Amino acid sequence: MGPRLGSWLGGVKLPKLAWRWAAYFGLLFACSIFVPGQSLAQTLPQGGQVVGGQAVISQPSANQLLINQSSSNAIINWQDFSIGAGNSTHFNNGTGATLNRVTGSTRSDIFGTLSATGSLFLINPNGIVIGPSGVVRTGGNFVASTLDVSDNHFMRGGDLLFSGTSDAEVVNYGTISALGGDVALIGLSVRNEGGIDAPNGTTGLIAGREILMRDTETADGKFFISVGSGNSSATNKGAIRASSAELRANGGNVYALAGNRGGAINATGISRRGGRVFLTAPGGRVVTSSSIRAKKKHSRGSASNSEGGPDVAGFVGGEITVDAEFVSLGGPLNADGDSGGLITVRAQTLALAEPITARGNFGSGGNVDINVTGDTLATSTSIIDVFGYESGGSIRHVTGQTLTTSASYIATSSVGIGGNIDVTAEACACCLPALILLAMPVEVASDLVENIKAERDS
């Protein structure tokens, strides 16, 4: 075990404390995969009763269910809400919203097609599974939750508070797309192993006992967990493509892992909105082994602009925020763009084994801010890079206790001046001469025991 792991860590002989940290990377492979069996071919939602707003339920054929909604919002209670393979259920609800609540005792299994012109909410405390053949398409939001929401709040609109005691899972193995809204999987345990597309909204995997879904995105994101749980978990092993993405589990575990669909999280903001990723589990763990990328569109000038031509569309780096008691980054974090973005990591203990980059390909480099109150392990495969074509960016890596590192820190520039690098620790258990690059001479503490610091001459 020791020699093999030592080779993986770049031949660095680590102290016992570092080996214990490295063993945490075993968490990356700890999640088992369960694929449910096919639902019955003839299944359609049963026992629907409209209890709010106006809607009519009809069945045009043996494998189709149609709901025509004439009010902006409506609530339907169902005895069972499942859709078998080859079957479809469509909500013609304009740009409005429909809350579907299961009052029976069976889980919702979606193996067919569930669609709506507007927004759909599916509430089932028994659990919700979208199978490998399941397809969900909405013009607005899609929310699948094992936590309930009050009828009055839903009909009124605005922020929604979800709460409940269900321990059942919400799992997606299929395909979910919300063209004009958000996608949210809400419950004590939520998991995506399929594909989720929300090009104009936020994708949220939110785990807890009481969760607020804001009507509009704030500086802290779209979702807030008011009551968390040590048993909560939010896991992504699929592909998420959205304007912004949030994986949250206060006191629990957030896993962003590589899976059959790559496990990538891509947050591509539109105009001045979005381009943000939150991986937060205060008091818990964040573990990654997949690629996480954040960027947002902007317009940059071109030679044609002086002649009245159109701007050239480009991307600037977005924002990635990671916050947990224990953080293990086994996948790259990328906030690259025409100019670099912002990556923030907060932890009590940090294990780092992959690149963190906020590079500026045409402008200035971005910012990487890492604040660890306890110990840090950064292997030789860790590259923290804020290169900027015009000027280098800023790296700040503060460790409150012991730093074990053989990482590289880069803040160079092609045509301008280098950026700032500040790597500070109370003590070093095994600090090899880490690679620190700027586009000008810098001063580096020779012993690398108490402080590694490089900064641009003022």
Segment 173-198, tens digit of pLDDT? 999 999 999 999 999 999 999 999 99
Q: What is the mean pLDDT of residues 332-360?
A: 97
Which one-letter amino acid corresponds to residue 200?
A: N
Quote the CA–CA distance of 262 and 258 in Å, as a whole number: 5
Two tokens, residue 83: 């859709």
pLDDT at position 306 over 80? no
pLDDT the model gives residue 217: 87
What is the rounded average pLDDT for all residues in the chain? 85
Nearest to 286, CA basis, from 321, 328, 239: 328
Other C-beta atoms closer than 10 Å to the C-beta of 443 total 9
What is the pairing mode between strands 73-78 and 221-227?
Answer: unpaired
Strand partners, 448: none
pLDDT the model gives residue 430: 65
Q: What is the mean pLDDT of residues 222-243?
A: 96
Cα angle value 234/222/236 (rounded, 5°): 25
How many C-alpha atoms does 10 have within 13 Å on its Cβ side? Answer: 13
Nearest to 60, CA basis, from 44, 71, 41: 44
User: Per-residue confidence at 437, pLDDT binned at 50, 70, 90?
Assistant: low
Nearest to 44, CA basis, from 27, 22, 23, 67: 67
pLDDT the model gives residue 354: 95
DSSP 305: G
What is the pairing mode between strands 64-69 and 55-61?
Answer: antiparallel
pLDDT at position 34 over 70? no
Residue located via tokens 């990356």: 28
pLDDT the model gives residue 260: 63
Q: What is the mean pLDDT of residues 226-230?
A: 95
pLDDT the model gives residue 431: 65
User: Per-residue confidence at 298, pLDDT binned at 50, 70, 90?
Assistant: confident
Q: What is the mean pLDDT of residues 337-359?
A: 97
pLDDT at position 14 over 70? no
pLDDT the model gives residue 308: 41
Other C-beta atoms closer than 10 Å to the C-beta of 267 total 28
pLDDT the model gives residue 303: 32
User: Per-residue confidence at 341, pLDDT binned at 50, 70, 90?
Assistant: very high
Strands (E), 379-442: 383-385, 394-405, 408-411, 420-431, 435-438
pLDDT at position 256 over 90? yes
Q: What is the mean pLDDT of residues 362-384?
A: 95
pLDDT the model gives residue 451: 39
